[in-house]
């Protein structure tokens, strides 16, 4: 339990999530830059985080849970360090993506509704975000962006948009429509953030 003074001085944890090719990395960087926040991401570049990325690319993301948990433990230490200094933190991917990649691929679709809340309770209870934004993206936009990558065909064949659609209904999130440039989306998110946390407008 954090002391009362430390809780008061804590920074704000802002998470930006979204399906593959939603533009979340670009948007999250723009938001972090505007807020003068610490920008971070999951999986990290730790050995365990790199293993998670490798298994995700191989379509074996359900095998990566132990690596993801270890990666998260180190990442939490990094996040806490900045929050305790009063620095806002913007994170590209967090609990939602962990459920999508490490929970749902190994669960029959008929059991997803039961599996996701249980997964959140077991693995996602430490350091809840102050606010989570989810970037919407249309399947056609995903397809167009995927085809620009060397492995785009394999991604299109294996990905299920339903995973993100289901996983995010169990978390308090603010959705951002797939309209406009990354900067326009970032500006929309910033306006919401300043509404939720007015002190961050003075920080930026």
CATH code, domain carrying 128:
3.40.50.300
- In the predicted structure, residue 158 carries a pLDDT above the cut 70: no
- In the predicted structure, residue 82 carries a pLDDT above the cut 70: yes
How many domains in the chain? 1
List of E strands, 42-178: 89-92, 131-135, 174-176
Q: For 22-41, what is the mean pLDDT?
A: 96
pLDDT: which is higher, 108 or 40: 40
Q: Which of 26, 15, 7 is nearest to 193 (CA)?
A: 15
Is the pTM of the predicted complex or chain greater than 0.85? yes
pLDDT tier for residue 114 given thresholds of 50, 70 and 90: confident
Angle (deg, nearest 10), helices 112-123 and 95-102: 130
Q: List Cβ neighbours of 96 (8 Å cut-off, separation of 6 or more).
A: 15, 17, 132, 134, 164, 167, 168, 171, 173
- pLDDT for the residue numbered 138: 83
Domain that holds residue 17: 4-203
Q: What is the mean pLDDT of the chain?
A: 86
- pLDDT for the residue numbered 85: 94
- How many whole angstroms separate alpha carbon 93 and alpha carbon 40? 9
């Amino acid at each position: 339990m954090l002391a009362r003074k430390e809780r008061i001085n804590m920074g704000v944890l802002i998470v930006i999530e979204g399906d593959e090719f939603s533009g979340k990395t670009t948007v999250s960087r723009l938001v972090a830059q505007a807020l003068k926040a610490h920008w971070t991401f999951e999986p990290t570049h730790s050995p365990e985080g790199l293993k998670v990325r490798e298994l995700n690319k191989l379509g074996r993301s359900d095998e990566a849970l132990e690596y993801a948990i270890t990666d998260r433990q180190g990442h939490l230490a990094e996040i806490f360090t900045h929050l305790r200094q009063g620095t806002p933190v913007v994170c590209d991917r967090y609990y939602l993506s962990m459920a999508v990649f490490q929970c749902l691929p190994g669960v029959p679709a008929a059991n997803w509704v039961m599996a996701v809340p249980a997964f959140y309770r077991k693995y996602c209870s430490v350091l809840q975000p102050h606010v989570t934004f989810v970037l919407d993206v249309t399947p056609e936009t995903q397809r167009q962006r995927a085809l620009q990558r060397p492995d785009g065909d394999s991604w299109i064949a294996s990905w299920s948009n339903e995973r993100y659609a289901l996983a995010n209904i169990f978390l308090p999130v603010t959705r951002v429509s797939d309209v406009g440039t990354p900067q326009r989306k970032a500006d929309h998110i910033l306006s919401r953030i300043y509404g939720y946390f007015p002190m961050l407008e003075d920080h930026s």
